[in-house]
Structure 1
C-alpha cells in the first residue's frame, strides 16, 4: 500500500479545525458507533504491540453519577451532559497479554514482570499513544471529543477498577459538540518555538 498526503478537509476534521468540546447537543451515540470507534483506534502502533489501553464507556445514569463524584467542579457539566464519557485506562499487567499480542517473542512479558518501573513507564506511554489514536478515530467517524484530566484518579480507580490491574489515564467526552460552548481557539507554538532539526 502506497501512502499519500491526505486532503485538506480530512486534515481539518482531524486536527486543524477540530476543537475540544465543552458543551453537547442532545444527540445519541450508538453502541455500534462505539464499537466501530474501538475497532478503528486499536490499529495504532504501540511498542511491542503491547496495547495497554482499556476503555470503559459510561452512559447510564448510575455509572455517570459515580463518575461525576470524581471529576473536578469545572468538568462536572461537561461530563453530565456528554452522551458518552470514555474512561481511557491502561492495564498495568499488560505484559501478561504479550504472548497473544507479540507472538514471535513468546517470553516478552519477562522483560516487564520483575521490573515495575519499566512496566509502568511503558504502560502509561503506550496507553497515552492509544488515547491519541482514539481521539483521531472518533473524529474520523464524525464524533466530537472533550478530553479531560481534571479528576480524582484514585477515586475513579476505586469506583470502576477495584480489584483489577486497570488504572485511569484520562477521560474523553464523546458526542456531537454544541458550537455555542466553544471558547476562542487558543494559540499554539510555532515550529521554531517547539522544534529543532539537528
Structure 2
C-alpha cells in the first residue's frame, strides 16, 4: 500500500500493521501465558462492533485446564492437535442459537424480532452469521492486544458441540489458539486480490 493510501485511514500506520498488514495467523507460540484480564480487555473492546439488530450470539469457552484440553484434542483433526496442545490458551467460539431471548430491550422492534426468530432454522442461520462476525472481531481484538491468533476449522463440530455444549443450543464456529507467536510461527503470506479485482462502482 502506498503511503498516500495508508494516510487516508484514521488509524496510524503502526496500528494498521498491528491489526492487518503485519499480523499473521500463528501455528506456534511461546510459553508466555495469556491472562484472563487480557481476554476480558479483548472482549470489552470487540463487544461494541456491529451486528444485525445488535444480536450477540457469540459465546466463548476458554480451555485452560489439562482436562479441558484433552477433551478438546480428541475432537481436533490430526493436523491441528499438536499446536492446540501446545498453545498457551485455546478458545472455543460458538453461536448461542437462543440468542433472541437476550435481544436488547431498548430496541422497539424486539417483540417482533422474537416472533421473527421463533422459527429455528431462521434463528440458527442468524446466530451463525452474526456469531461469525463477532468471531472475526474477536480475532482482531486478539491482534489489538499484541497477541496472535490461530483460528481453526479442522475439528469434529458435532463432537465439540456435544463435549462442551451438551444442551444442544450452541454451535461451534471455530477453535482459536491464542498467544505470543513463537519462532517460525507463520507460513509465507498468501496472495490477496487487488482492489480492482474486488471493487466495482455502479
Cα distance in structure 2, aligned partners of 1:196 and 1:117: 33
- 3-state SS of paired residue (1:109): helix
Once the two structures are superposed, residues 47-93 of structure 1 have per-residue CA deviations (whole angstroms, 9 ceiling, x without a partner) of: 11111000001111000001110111111112111111110100011
Which among 151, 160, 163 is matched to residue 147 of structure 1?
Answer: 151
Question: What residue is the counterpart of 1:97 in the other structure?
Answer: 102
CA contact (8 A) 1:50 1:95 kept: yes
Deviations 1:118-157 (A, max 9, x none): 2122111100100111011111111110010111000000
Whether contact under 8 Å (1:58, 1:85) holds in the other structure is yes
Report if the CA contact (8 A) 2:60-2:93 is conserved.
yes
Q: Is the 8 A contact 1:54 1:91 kept in 2?
A: yes
SS in structure 2 opposite 1:154? helix
Q: Is structure 2 residue 38 aligned with structure 1 residue 24?
A: no
Of the candidates 67, 70, 86, which is equivalent to residue 72 of structure 2?
67
TM-score relative to the length of structure 2: 0.91
Q: Who is 2:39 aligned against?
A: 34
Describe the shift of the 1:148–1:140 C-alpha distance in structure 2 as closer, same or farther (beyond 3 A).
Answer: same
In 2, are the aligned partners of 1:49 and 1:101 still within 8 Å (CA)?
no
Shift of 1:38: 1.3
Where does the alignment leave 5 or more consecutive residues of structure 1 unmatched? none
Residue 102 to residue 94, structure 1, CA distance change in 2 (3 Å): farther
1:105 CA displacement: 2.9
- In the alignment, the residues of structure 2 paired with residue 103 and residue 5 of structure 1 have an alpha-carbon distance, to the nearest angstrom, of 30
RMSD: 1.4
* Mean Cα deviation higher: 153-162 or 77-86: 77-86
Q: Deviations over 1:4-54 (max 9, x none)?
A: 611111000001110000001010011111111111121111111111000
Where do residues 161-172 of structure 1 align in structure 2 (5 Å cutoff)? 161-172=165-176
Q: Could you tell me how far apart the structure 1 residues matched to 2:94 and 2:73 are? A: 17
Cross-structure match for 2:17: 12
CA contact (8 A) 2:143 2:149 kept: yes
**Which consecutive aligned stretches of 4+ in structure 1 deviate over 3 angstroms post-superposition?**
100-103
TM-score (structure 1 length as normaliser):
0.92
Report the equivalent of 2:3.
none
